[in-house]
Amino acid sequence: MNASAFDAPAAGREILARAEALARHSDSSGHYTRTWLTPAHRAAAAQIAGWMREAGMSVRTDGAGSVIGRYEGASPGARALATGSHFDSVRNGGRYDGVLGILVPLACVAALNARGERLPHAIEVIAFADEEGARFQTSFLASRAYLGRFDPALLERRDADGVRFDEAMRAAGLDPAAIAATPRDPGTLAAYVEVHIEQGPVLLEAGAPLGVVTAIAGGTRHRVTVDGVAGHAGTVPMASRRDALAAAAEMVLAVEARARTGGGLVGTVGLLEVRDGTGNVIPGHVEFTVDLRSGDDAVREAAERDVFARCEAIAAKRGVTVAVRRNHAVRATPCSPRLQALLAGSFEAVGAPVRRLASGAGHDAMVLAEATEVGMLFVRCGAGGVSHHPAESVTAEDAGLAAAALRTFLERFS
């Protein structure tokens, strides 16, 4: 396929129209939320599967509910260049996060199919069912299951409505015992390349529509529980209080202070809950989350030790107890230098400047790196770089340029 055969502007318009169509499959009528195996999630999966078939792909759904389309190469059974991203979302999120990485390669495959062209390698587009983990707190569930990794303890988890993990699977027609029963053979993968909205302002500020990702930051997430003593807000003297929320508040500020020390470190407390909280009761039990990330694992691990040592000291000073449970950990992931070079050459071929940058957000590519070499193509994020938010935006021009660059990459890959 030569450059003139691919209509990038038309592809960009179609990608945005399809993103809009998928956004209508939401758990909420008031905002865009799509969590694992809800009716909206299953409807989105069906729509993606339909688009894959229209593009000439064979389609299957794996044990975690991911939708996988395959476009055969010139020789049946050839190793696959895999690409894709996730189609679940955070609550009240943005409609391009994850979805863009499914729709861009679909546009490329559809163009190949329209011309009856086959490449030396197969192309597989993977729509991962659960990356955000918003429903059951299961980050990277689908990509881990794709590689045959699954923690059976997750079957006991319940969502905010009390629905158990295994019950949700059965309601969606999936077998909990088979969620990771057919792991992908790494020998059948040639590489994995993920297209994703940047989720930050770097490309926007640089005036660059696309970016080559050099590495993905590692991260850990923790659930912190603080136990004090509940009491009447009007009768317990200040000096006698063991206020769990006041202690937690000081711990939250300790996370922020440590993250501000540099080294590419970021720290976030995104959730804080007061059990049985009310306006005239001293809080006795508080839980909050801690998310620590850095492109340097040693920097992040040192911060983790410092933060929780500080939490222990705060607890001792305030007469409360603190318990920390890690529920997510991924190491920093370098992107393949070979794939970076191929992506950079593809940018140049379509007239896009080459801008390299690291990713502070986690992606399914981090998990796939355990099985094959990985690369990432970032697309400029509008609205000041806002993401995980309804204001998240991408232009049709940038989406089309991303499709043109990926099309070139797919043809040049070997």
CATH 3.30.70.360 residue window(s) in the chain: 218-330
Of the candidates 132, 145, 147, 125, the one whose C-alpha atom is nearest the C-alpha of residue 56 is 125
Contact 218, 332 (CB under 8 A): yes
Tokens of 256: 């922020």
Over residues 177-194, the pLDDT tens digits come to 999 999 999 999 999 999
pLDDT at residue 105 in the model = 98
pLDDT at residue 3 in the model = 45
CATH 3.40.630.10 residue window(s) in the chain: 3-217+332-412
285-294 and 266-268 as β-strands: parallel, antiparallel, unpaired? Answer: antiparallel
Low-confidence ranges of the chain (pLDDT < 50): 1-4
pLDDT at residue 1 in the model = 43
Contact 410, 9 (CB under 8 A): no
The C-alpha atoms of residue 274 and residue 278 are separated, in whole angstroms, by 9
DSSP single-letter state for residue 178: G
The C-alpha atoms of residue 330 and residue 336 are separated, in whole angstroms, by 17
In this structure, what are the phi and psi dihedrals at residue 329, rounded to the nearest 5 degrees? Answer: -155, 130
Contact 210, 402 (CB under 8 A): yes
Reduce the DSSP state of residue 328 to 3 states and report it.
strand
In this structure, what are the phi and psi dihedrals at residue 290, rounded to the nearest 5 degrees? Answer: -130, 125
pLDDT at residue 42 in the model = 98
Residue 397 host element (H or E): helix 396-412
pLDDT at residue 32 in the model = 96
Hey, which CATH number is domain 218-330, 3.20.20.70, 3.30.70.360, 3.90.1150.180, 3.40.449.10?
3.30.70.360
Task: Assign a CATH topology to domain 3-217+332-412.
Answer: Aminopeptidase (3.40.630)
